[in-house]
Structure 1
Amino acid sequence: MIINNKILNVDDYYYGVFMTISESLTGFTLNELQSTGLAEIYYSYILNHIELATFIEFLNISKNSIENSQTQEELTHVISAKILSAPSTQGIAQSVITLWYLGTWEGVYVNDLSYKEGLVWNVMHAHPPGAKQPGFKSWNLKPVNSNS
Protein backbone atom coordinates (compact mmCIF):
# COMPACT_ATOMS: atom_id res chain seq x y z
CA MET A 1 0.00 0.00 0.00
CA ILE A 2 1.07 3.60 -0.49
CA ILE A 3 1.61 6.14 2.26
CA ASN A 4 -0.15 9.44 1.60
CA ASN A 5 2.58 12.08 1.36
CA LYS A 6 2.25 15.86 1.24
CA ILE A 7 -1.25 15.90 2.67
CA LEU A 8 -2.61 19.43 2.89
CA ASN A 9 0.28 21.79 3.57
CA VAL A 10 2.15 19.63 6.05
CA ASP A 11 5.59 18.78 4.77
CA ASP A 12 6.29 16.02 7.28
CA TYR A 13 6.68 12.42 6.13
CA TYR A 14 5.47 11.08 9.45
CA TYR A 15 2.27 13.10 9.13
CA GLY A 16 1.49 11.08 6.01
CA VAL A 17 2.14 7.88 7.93
CA PHE A 18 -0.08 9.11 10.77
CA MET A 19 -2.94 9.89 8.40
CA THR A 20 -2.59 6.61 6.51
CA ILE A 21 -2.56 4.51 9.70
CA SER A 22 -5.44 6.59 11.12
CA GLU A 23 -7.43 5.75 8.02
CA SER A 24 -6.92 2.02 8.65
CA LEU A 25 -7.44 2.22 12.41
CA THR A 26 -10.70 4.17 12.17
CA GLY A 27 -12.24 2.77 9.00
CA PHE A 28 -12.84 6.30 7.72
CA THR A 29 -11.30 7.61 4.50
CA LEU A 30 -8.52 10.15 4.39
CA ASN A 31 -10.98 12.76 3.09
CA GLU A 32 -13.42 12.06 5.93
CA LEU A 33 -10.64 12.42 8.51
CA GLN A 34 -9.39 15.65 6.95
CA SER A 35 -12.90 17.08 6.73
CA THR A 36 -13.03 17.14 10.53
CA GLY A 37 -10.50 19.98 10.41
CA LEU A 38 -8.53 18.23 13.14
CA ALA A 39 -5.89 16.17 11.34
CA GLU A 40 -2.98 18.57 11.82
CA ILE A 41 -4.19 19.50 15.31
CA TYR A 42 -4.31 15.85 16.39
CA TYR A 43 -0.87 15.13 14.94
CA SER A 44 0.65 18.13 16.74
CA TYR A 45 -1.23 17.30 19.93
CA ILE A 46 0.19 13.79 20.06
CA LEU A 47 3.69 15.09 19.32
CA ASN A 48 3.40 17.42 22.32
CA HIS A 49 1.79 14.95 24.75
CA ILE A 50 3.83 11.77 24.50
CA GLU A 51 7.53 11.03 24.32
CA LEU A 52 8.77 11.67 20.79
CA ALA A 53 10.67 8.36 20.61
CA THR A 54 7.49 6.44 21.49
CA PHE A 55 5.47 8.17 18.78
CA ILE A 56 8.23 7.72 16.19
CA GLU A 57 8.46 4.00 17.05
CA PHE A 58 4.70 3.68 16.55
CA LEU A 59 4.92 5.54 13.24
CA ASN A 60 7.88 3.45 12.01
CA ILE A 61 6.08 0.19 12.82
CA SER A 62 2.99 1.61 11.10
CA LYS A 63 5.06 2.66 8.07
CA ASN A 64 6.56 -0.82 7.73
CA SER A 65 3.13 -2.41 8.09
CA ILE A 66 1.67 -0.17 5.40
CA GLU A 67 4.56 -0.62 2.97
CA ASN A 68 4.62 -4.42 3.37
CA SER A 69 0.89 -4.85 2.79
CA GLN A 70 -0.44 -5.40 -0.71
CA THR A 71 -4.15 -5.09 0.07
CA GLN A 72 -6.37 -3.43 2.66
CA GLU A 73 -7.28 -6.86 4.06
CA GLU A 74 -3.62 -7.71 4.52
CA LEU A 75 -3.01 -4.36 6.22
CA THR A 76 -5.97 -4.95 8.53
CA HIS A 77 -4.50 -8.31 9.53
CA VAL A 78 -1.03 -6.82 10.10
CA ILE A 79 -2.49 -4.00 12.20
CA SER A 80 -4.34 -6.53 14.33
CA ALA A 81 -1.31 -8.81 14.68
CA LYS A 82 1.54 -6.30 15.01
CA ILE A 83 0.12 -3.00 16.20
CA LEU A 84 -2.97 -3.73 18.28
CA SER A 85 -1.42 -6.81 19.90
CA ALA A 86 2.09 -5.56 20.66
CA PRO A 87 2.50 -3.98 24.12
CA SER A 88 4.77 -1.24 22.70
CA THR A 89 2.17 0.03 20.21
CA GLN A 90 -1.18 -1.18 21.53
CA GLY A 91 -1.76 1.74 23.89
CA ILE A 92 -0.94 4.46 21.40
CA ALA A 93 -3.03 2.79 18.66
CA GLN A 94 -6.00 2.65 21.00
CA SER A 95 -5.42 6.28 21.98
CA VAL A 96 -5.34 7.33 18.33
CA ILE A 97 -8.65 5.53 17.70
CA THR A 98 -10.20 7.19 20.77
CA LEU A 99 -8.85 10.55 19.66
CA TRP A 100 -10.55 10.33 16.27
CA TYR A 101 -13.82 8.88 17.55
CA LEU A 102 -14.32 10.83 20.78
CA GLY A 103 -11.96 13.78 20.40
CA THR A 104 -10.20 13.00 23.67
CA TRP A 105 -6.64 12.15 24.63
CA GLU A 106 -6.33 10.48 28.03
CA GLY A 107 -9.88 11.55 28.87
CA VAL A 108 -9.41 15.24 27.99
CA TYR A 109 -10.91 16.95 24.95
CA VAL A 110 -8.22 18.29 22.65
CA ASN A 111 -10.27 21.42 21.91
CA ASP A 112 -13.88 22.52 21.39
CA LEU A 113 -13.94 21.29 17.82
CA SER A 114 -12.79 17.78 18.78
CA TYR A 115 -16.09 17.14 20.58
CA LYS A 116 -18.16 18.42 17.66
CA GLU A 117 -16.22 16.54 14.99
CA GLY A 118 -15.80 13.19 16.76
CA LEU A 119 -16.34 10.29 14.37
CA VAL A 120 -18.71 8.70 16.86
CA TRP A 121 -21.48 11.08 15.74
CA ASN A 122 -21.19 9.87 12.13
CA VAL A 123 -21.30 6.25 13.22
CA MET A 124 -24.43 6.88 15.30
CA HIS A 125 -26.06 9.02 12.57
CA ALA A 126 -26.51 11.67 15.26
CA HIS A 127 -25.28 15.13 16.14
CA PRO A 128 -23.32 16.23 19.20
CA PRO A 129 -25.87 17.59 21.68
CA GLY A 130 -25.42 21.25 22.37
CA ALA A 131 -22.88 21.68 19.59
CA LYS A 132 -24.39 21.05 16.16
CA GLN A 133 -28.08 21.37 15.65
CA PRO A 134 -29.75 18.70 13.51
CA GLY A 135 -31.63 21.27 11.39
CA PHE A 136 -35.05 22.79 10.98
CA LYS A 137 -37.89 20.26 11.29
CA SER A 138 -35.43 17.40 11.77
CA TRP A 139 -37.73 16.07 14.49
CA ASN A 140 -40.20 15.30 11.71
CA LEU A 141 -37.85 12.82 9.99
CA LYS A 142 -37.53 9.18 10.97
CA PRO A 143 -34.06 8.21 12.24
CA VAL A 144 -31.68 6.37 9.92
CA ASN A 145 -32.18 2.59 10.14
CA SER A 146 -35.51 3.09 11.90
CA ASN A 147 -37.77 0.04 11.98
CA SER A 148 -40.82 2.08 12.90
Structure 2
Amino acid sequence: MELHQFAALSARLTGFDSGELQESGMVHAYRQVVTEQVGAERLDKLADSVAVTADDPPRFTDDSARELARAITHLWYLGTWPGVLRPPFPDGEVPPSASGPFVVSSRAYEQGLVWRAFGGRAPGTTAEGYGSWAGSPSVATPLGAHGSDSAVAK
Protein backbone atom coordinates (compact mmCIF):
# COMPACT_ATOMS: atom_id res chain seq x y z
CA MET A 1 0.00 0.00 0.00
CA GLU A 2 1.32 3.40 -0.99
CA LEU A 3 1.70 6.16 1.61
CA HIS A 4 -1.08 8.28 0.11
CA GLN A 5 -3.44 5.28 0.19
CA PHE A 6 -2.63 4.64 3.85
CA ALA A 7 -3.18 8.33 4.61
CA ALA A 8 -6.56 8.23 2.82
CA LEU A 9 -7.60 5.09 4.72
CA SER A 10 -6.48 6.64 7.99
CA ALA A 11 -8.41 9.82 7.20
CA ARG A 12 -11.63 7.83 6.81
CA LEU A 13 -10.98 6.09 10.13
CA THR A 14 -9.86 9.08 12.23
CA GLY A 15 -11.98 11.98 11.00
CA PHE A 16 -8.90 14.08 10.15
CA ASP A 17 -8.16 14.72 6.49
CA SER A 18 -5.16 13.06 4.86
CA GLY A 19 -3.26 16.36 4.56
CA GLU A 20 -3.49 16.85 8.31
CA LEU A 21 -2.24 13.33 8.89
CA GLN A 22 0.66 13.95 6.50
CA GLU A 23 1.56 17.10 8.51
CA SER A 24 2.04 14.97 11.61
CA GLY A 25 4.98 13.23 9.95
CA MET A 26 3.76 9.82 11.18
CA VAL A 27 2.23 8.31 8.02
CA HIS A 28 5.32 6.33 7.02
CA ALA A 29 6.01 5.09 10.55
CA TYR A 30 2.41 4.06 11.16
CA ARG A 31 2.08 2.28 7.82
CA GLN A 32 5.26 0.38 8.66
CA VAL A 33 3.95 -0.59 12.12
CA VAL A 34 0.61 -1.80 10.74
CA THR A 35 2.26 -3.75 7.92
CA GLU A 36 4.74 -5.40 10.29
CA GLN A 37 2.02 -6.30 12.79
CA VAL A 38 -0.75 -7.60 10.52
CA GLY A 39 0.74 -7.91 7.04
CA ALA A 40 0.19 -6.02 3.82
CA GLU A 41 -2.56 -8.36 2.66
CA ARG A 42 -4.77 -7.73 5.69
CA LEU A 43 -4.20 -3.97 5.42
CA ASP A 44 -5.13 -4.00 1.72
CA LYS A 45 -8.25 -6.01 2.51
CA LEU A 46 -9.30 -3.40 5.07
CA ALA A 47 -8.68 -0.58 2.58
CA ASP A 48 -10.84 -2.37 0.01
CA SER A 49 -13.70 -2.81 2.49
CA VAL A 50 -13.55 0.87 3.49
CA ALA A 51 -13.45 2.00 -0.15
CA VAL A 52 -16.70 0.24 -1.04
CA THR A 53 -18.78 1.68 1.82
CA ALA A 54 -20.32 5.12 1.64
CA ASP A 55 -20.86 5.18 5.41
CA ASP A 56 -18.88 7.79 7.26
CA PRO A 57 -17.46 6.57 9.55
CA PRO A 58 -17.22 3.19 7.84
CA ARG A 59 -19.23 0.28 9.25
CA PHE A 60 -17.76 -3.21 9.30
CA THR A 61 -19.54 -6.54 9.22
CA ASP A 62 -16.26 -8.44 9.39
CA ASP A 63 -14.87 -8.65 12.95
CA SER A 64 -11.28 -8.86 11.71
CA ALA A 65 -11.66 -5.67 9.65
CA ARG A 66 -13.36 -3.89 12.56
CA GLU A 67 -10.55 -4.89 14.91
CA LEU A 68 -7.87 -3.67 12.51
CA ALA A 69 -9.72 -0.39 11.87
CA ARG A 70 -9.97 0.13 15.63
CA ALA A 71 -6.26 -0.61 16.05
CA ILE A 72 -5.27 1.88 13.32
CA THR A 73 -7.50 4.56 14.84
CA HIS A 74 -6.02 3.83 18.27
CA LEU A 75 -2.53 4.13 16.77
CA TRP A 76 -3.26 7.55 15.29
CA TYR A 77 -4.94 8.98 18.36
CA LEU A 78 -2.62 7.67 21.07
CA GLY A 79 0.65 6.82 19.30
CA THR A 80 0.49 3.25 20.62
CA TRP A 81 -0.20 -0.03 18.89
CA PRO A 82 -2.90 -1.84 20.89
CA GLY A 83 -2.19 -5.30 19.48
CA VAL A 84 -4.66 -7.30 17.39
CA LEU A 85 -5.64 -10.91 17.08
CA ARG A 86 -4.46 -12.82 14.09
CA PRO A 87 -7.23 -13.95 11.76
CA PRO A 88 -8.90 -17.18 12.92
CA PHE A 89 -7.56 -20.53 11.80
CA PRO A 90 -9.66 -22.44 9.24
CA ASP A 91 -11.10 -24.64 12.04
CA GLY A 92 -12.48 -21.49 13.76
CA GLU A 93 -9.96 -21.41 16.61
CA VAL A 94 -8.65 -17.93 17.37
CA PRO A 95 -4.85 -17.80 17.74
CA PRO A 96 -3.12 -15.62 20.36
CA SER A 97 -2.36 -11.97 19.66
CA ALA A 98 0.35 -11.28 17.10
CA SER A 99 1.95 -8.88 19.54
CA GLY A 100 1.03 -7.01 22.65
CA PRO A 101 0.55 -3.29 22.94
CA PHE A 102 3.56 -1.00 22.60
CA VAL A 103 4.39 2.70 22.27
CA VAL A 104 5.65 3.42 18.76
CA SER A 105 7.95 6.28 19.79
CA SER A 106 8.07 9.42 21.88
CA ARG A 107 7.31 11.37 18.70
CA ALA A 108 4.21 9.24 18.13
CA TYR A 109 3.01 10.13 21.64
CA GLU A 110 3.59 13.82 20.95
CA GLN A 111 1.84 13.68 17.56
CA GLY A 112 -1.20 11.75 18.85
CA LEU A 113 -4.44 13.08 17.43
CA VAL A 114 -6.00 13.05 20.87
CA TRP A 115 -4.11 16.24 21.71
CA ARG A 116 -5.17 17.96 18.50
CA ALA A 117 -8.78 16.87 18.90
CA PHE A 118 -9.17 19.15 21.91
CA GLY A 119 -6.60 21.78 20.93
CA GLY A 120 -4.00 20.82 23.50
CA ARG A 121 -0.45 19.61 23.63
CA ALA A 122 0.95 16.34 24.88
CA PRO A 123 2.01 16.74 28.52
CA GLY A 124 5.74 16.97 28.98
CA THR A 125 6.53 17.77 25.36
CA THR A 126 6.31 21.55 25.03
CA ALA A 127 7.28 23.78 27.88
CA GLU A 128 5.07 26.81 28.40
CA GLY A 129 7.78 28.67 30.26
CA TYR A 130 8.29 30.02 33.74
CA GLY A 131 5.20 31.71 35.17
CA SER A 132 2.86 30.36 32.51
CA TRP A 133 0.49 29.13 35.23
CA ALA A 134 -0.21 32.73 36.28
CA GLY A 135 -2.08 33.63 33.11
CA SER A 136 -4.89 32.10 31.11
CA PRO A 137 -4.01 28.94 29.18
CA SER A 138 -2.78 29.46 25.66
CA VAL A 139 -5.20 28.37 22.98
CA ALA A 140 -3.72 25.85 20.60
CA THR A 141 -5.56 25.62 17.33
CA PRO A 142 -6.63 22.04 16.67
CA LEU A 143 -4.94 20.65 13.58
CA GLY A 144 -8.31 20.15 11.90
CA ALA A 145 -9.52 23.70 12.51
CA HIS A 146 -7.73 25.40 9.63
CA GLY A 147 -10.83 25.64 7.47
CA SER A 148 -10.91 21.96 6.60
CA ASP A 149 -13.92 19.69 6.52
CA SER A 150 -12.52 17.49 9.26
CA ALA A 151 -15.21 15.87 11.38
CA VAL A 152 -12.99 16.35 14.43
CA ALA A 153 -12.75 20.11 13.92
CA LYS A 154 -16.52 20.56 13.75
TM-score between the two structures when normalised by the length of structure 2: 0.67
Q: Indicate the SS of the match to 1:120.
A: helix
Runs of at least 4 residues off by over 6 Å? none
Which of 76, 84, 108 matches 1:100? 76
The reply on whether 1:26 has 2:14 as its aligned counterpart is yes
| 1:122 is the counterpart of 2:102 | no
Unaligned 5+ runs, structure 1: 1-11, 66-73
1:127–1:134 contact (8 Å) kept in structure 2: no
Change (3 A) 1:30 1:136: farther
**Residue of structure 1 equivalent to 2:105:** 111
Alignment of 1:18-97 (within 5 A): 18-65=6-53, 74-76=54-56, 79-80=58-59, 83=60, 85-97=61-73
* Aligned position for 2:136: 141
- Greater relative CO (CA pairs within 8 A, separation 6+): 2
* Distance change >3 Å, CA 132–CA 142, structure 1 → 2: closer
Aligned partners of 2:76 and 2:113 also within 8 Å: yes
Q: Which residue of the partner structure matches residue 89 of structure 2?
A: none
The one-letter code matched in structure 2 to 1:48 is E
- Identical counterparts, % of pairs: 27
CA distance in 1, matches of 2:15, 2:31: 18
Are the equivalent residues in 2 in contact too, given 1:17–1:62 (CA < 8 A)?
Answer: no
SS at match of 1:63: helix
How many angstroms apart in 1 are the aligned matches of 2:50 and 2:130? 44
Change (3 A) 1:98 1:134: farther
- Count of matched residue positions in the alignment of Structure 1 and Structure 2: 120
1:70: which partner in 2? none
Which structure has greater helix proportion? 1
Structure 2 unaligned segments of length 5 or more: list them.
83-100, 140-154
CA gap 1:136/1:22 in 2 versus in 1, 3 angstroms = farther
